[in-house]
Amino acid sequence: MKYLWIFIFLCFSYLYSETPYMQQIKVWDECTYSMEIVRINLMQLKENTFEKIDTNRAISFCQKSLEQYPNDPHIKFLLARAYTKAKQYKKGFALASESCKQGDIGGCTLLGGYFDSRLIDKKNIQQKSILLWVWACSQGGSQACTNLYTKSHYNTFMLKEIINKDSKLLDICKQGDYPSACYLYAKNCFARRKHSDECYDASLRSCISGNSEGCLFYNEFTKNKSNKLSNTQQLLSVYQKSCNNGNVESCLQVAHIYGSKERNKVNNVMALSLYEDSCVKGHSATACRYAGAYYLGKLEGVTQNIPKGISYLETSCKPRTTRIETAHGVRTNVDYDIRGCLDLAKYYIYTPQKKYQNIKKAKQILQQACNISSYYYTSNLGCQLGIDTCCQHMKHYNK
């Protein structure tokens, strides 16, 4: 086993010897897999964006790793990144500084981020961050190059030789180790209403990497690429890869594709499996609604489970607030599917299963739905049942 790992390491080193950033990665452990910023498919290493970091686990892993390898600058960078996500800025800044002084590309990139975000030093912020990123980019740091791209649109302190933004960002995208570059390139194309082959390729790479917005750009650009995407099977392949990389919206699209096919045992089971995964793991209200409908129906290959179907519809109808931490702060997202409320209320009213017929529950659900938002179908049904809030909504529709 020992020799097998040595062989794998040598093969990996050979394949990626041309990338200076990857040459810095000497240790492969839980710290690496929980914190590394690049994607390396050969080693099943995914790009851990700032939003995806599990702070407590990452700090624990990287502290243990640093105890074992106290002089490794790259591990110092990874632990500094974990501290930064945890808002332990003094610890993060100190380790990022040490890492950068030892020549680590990631460490200098993160240190530039500290200056740019004004987390520690308030002086010469713009110049320090740019100079650190220029050096890290020149050494093969994809994130540093991408940072320069995002700042170059409005930064007054920018060296002329690095302002060839688009081509540089596209090169980083094609390199394949930093999918965020593909997303930014595709986003810029979309903003400019540019539909080139390069834009299409960048959006495709971004979507496959698991970026949900990248898939939205991809959908837009494929409208002009009908010859390249002329059938459902090709779309399914792209969305499946994106789903495998953690994009819940793509999993939902794959489920919809299976659901739109012939309603046979295989397609039904595949669709339901993806809807359930997207509901439970991805917290998608729409996925919960579809999962509920599948369990309430009588579909080939799916065992009817009314309690589970009702539970999924209830989940889709209840607003769920999630907090997403980014490098720029915390943003909240409220997710619910008002159509799940409608489906559940209608089930309680019209189901032939006398055990589950319950007008009182239907009214409660419709009252909740009308309190959440004004949606014609829930408002109309609620008003028919004498719910004042729903009737108030209908007055606006009837004007």
Highest mean pLDDT out of 180-194, 256-270, 344-358: 344-358
**Topology of domain 231-336, per CATH?**
1.25.40
- Asked whether residue 344 carries a pLDDT value surpassing 60, the answer given is yes
**Topology of domain 13-163, per CATH?**
1.25.40
What is the residue whose two structure tokens read 């800044």?
A: 93
- Measured between alpha carbons, how far is 253 from 208 in angstroms, rounded to an integer? 13
pLDDT tier at 5 (50, 70, 90 boundaries)? very low
- Measured between alpha carbons, how far is 139 from 126 in angstroms, rounded to an integer? 20
* 180, 143 Cβ separation under 8 angstroms: yes
Residues of the chain with CATH 1.25.40.10: 13-163, 231-336
Say how far residue 94 (Cα) sits from the centre of its chain.
30
Buried-exposed string 310-348: b where 16+ CB fall within 10 A, e elsewhere: bebbebbbbeeeeeebeeeeeeeeebbbbbbbbbbbbbb
> For position 330, what pLDDT does the model report?
55
Highest mean pLDDT out of 146-150, 248-252, 345-349: 345-349
Looking at residues 30-35, what average pLDDT do you find? 79
- Measured between alpha carbons, how far is 293 from 316 in angstroms, rounded to an integer? 11
Q: What is the mean pLDDT of the chain?
A: 80
* 210, 241 Cβ separation under 8 angstroms: no
Looking at residues 346-350, what average pLDDT do you find? 95
For 377-392, write each residue's pLDDT tens digit.
999 999 999 999 999 9
CB-neighbour burial class of residue 51 (10 A; exposed 0-12, middle 13-18, buried 19+) = exposed
Question: Cβ atoms within 10 A of the Cβ of 249, count?
Answer: 22
CB-neighbour burial class of residue 306 (10 A; exposed 0-12, middle 13-18, buried 19+) = middle
Dihedral over Cα of 167, 172, 175, 176: its sign:
negative
> For position 39, what pLDDT does the model report?
58
pLDDT tier at 138 (50, 70, 90 boundaries)? confident
pLDDT tier at 161 (50, 70, 90 boundaries)? very low
- Asked whether residue 272 carries a pLDDT value surpassing 70, the answer given is yes
Orientation angle between helical segments 376-384 and 388-397, nearest 10 degrees: 130
> For position 208, what pLDDT does the model report?
86
Structure-block tokens of residue 114: 């500290």
Structure-block tokens of residue 348: 């309680």
> For position 9, what pLDDT does the model report?
42
Looking at residues 227-239, what average pLDDT do you find? 67
pLDDT tier at 398 (50, 70, 90 boundaries)? confident
- Asked whether residue 35 carries a pLDDT value surpassing 90, the answer given is no
> For position 271, what pLDDT does the model report?
92
pTM for the complete prediction?
Answer: 0.64
CA separation (Å) from 16 to 7, 23, 30, 67, 105?
14, 7, 21, 27, 16
